[in-house]
Chains A and B, each alone.
Chain A
């Protein structure tokens, strides 16, 4: 495996791991539910996307074909993350989860 590809795979892996960790930190320490929703939908999804990309690169450099499954998983995750975030936000508004102090505007319930 040539060194440039190796560095690229390592960089992508570390980037993905860092984003996943940042998403989890956000989930653990942001003050209310609606702000916590932001960490997983963006950071974690992108982190897993970067890890998938490094896997594709790694296996294609070893000459085991291009990873179609990884691409499918990534596309699927990017399509489903907004949907589950939206459904969870709706459920939280229905239950009436408390918002943090200083939130402008109100969630509406219909």
Chain B
């Protein structure tokens, strides 16, 4: 019973607590208590889905990465908008991207980033988590797509998740 009174996922608990305060429209005694209960109960109930404890070490690198991603989202949207409005036929291609990251959370962050940025959508991860299938909307060569992603997004993530 006593081992149930813990927070197996401290980051998840913190995020849940903060989100509940934001959702409940102003901090009050009730929202604090209920937020605390939720921050305890949800990680306990979903513990089976989180096989390993998180090893998220360099959190302080996160804001810089987020800023870069937001800037790229804006420029990416302008590129895609220009392509759609110009009316020429896109040159789509499927690219197999060899992953250097190993942490599952890092891979999912990378996949989400790819989906939101320049002309690429991540379509699938191979079963052994070594390859990512990417669909590029308008690209000249495989190597160009791979190099851009490797340099702009995977290197910062590798620094964030040291293995």
Is B2 in contact with chain A by the CB < 8 A criterion? no
Grouping DSSP codes into helix (H, G, I), strand (E, B) and loop, the A interface class, with mixed when no group exceeds half, is helix
Q: Which of A48-105 contact B (CB under 8 A)?
A: 68-69, 71-72, 78-79, 81-83, 85-86, 89-90, 93, 99-100, 102-105
Is B41 in contact with chain A by the CB < 8 A criterion? no
Contact of B90 among A25, A30, A41 (CB under 8 A): A30
Is B150 in contact with chain A by the CB < 8 A criterion? no
Q: Is B92 in contact with A82, judged by CB distance below 8 angstroms?
A: no
Is B55 in contact with chain A by the CB < 8 A criterion? no
Q: Is B96 in contact with A86, judged by CB distance below 8 angstroms?
A: no
How far, in whole Å, are A10 and B2 apart by their CA atoms in the complex?
Answer: 56
Cβ contacts B38-51/A at 8 Å (1 or 0 each)? 00000000000000
Residue of A41, A42, A100 contacting most chain B CB atoms (<10 Å): A42
Q: Which of B71-123 contact A (CB under 8 A)?
A: 73-74, 76-77, 80-81, 84-85, 89-96, 111-116, 119, 121-123
The number of chain B residues with a CB under 8 A from chain A is 37
Q: Which of B30-80 contact A (CB under 8 A)?
A: 73-74, 76-77, 80
Smallest Cβ-Cβ distance to A103: which chain B residue: B92
Question: Smallest Cβ distance from A3 to chain B, in angstroms?
Answer: 25
Q: Is B123 in contact with A42, judged by CB distance below 8 angstroms?
A: no
The number of chain A residues with a CB under 8 A from chain B is 43
| Residue numbers in B under 8 Å from A102 (CB-CB) | 89, 91-92
| Residue numbers in B under 8 Å from A46 (CB-CB) | 73-74, 77
Q: Is A22 in contact with B85, judged by CB distance below 8 angstroms?
A: yes
Question: Smallest Cβ distance from A29 to chain B, in angstroms?
Answer: 8
Q: Is B77 in contact with A19, judged by CB distance below 8 angstroms?
A: yes
Question: Smallest Cβ distance from B71 to chain A, in angstroms?
Answer: 12
Question: Smallest Cβ distance from A22 to chain B, in angstroms?
Answer: 4
How far, in whole Å, are A42 and B114 apart by their CA atoms in the complex?
Answer: 11
Is B23 in contact with chain A by the CB < 8 A criterion? yes
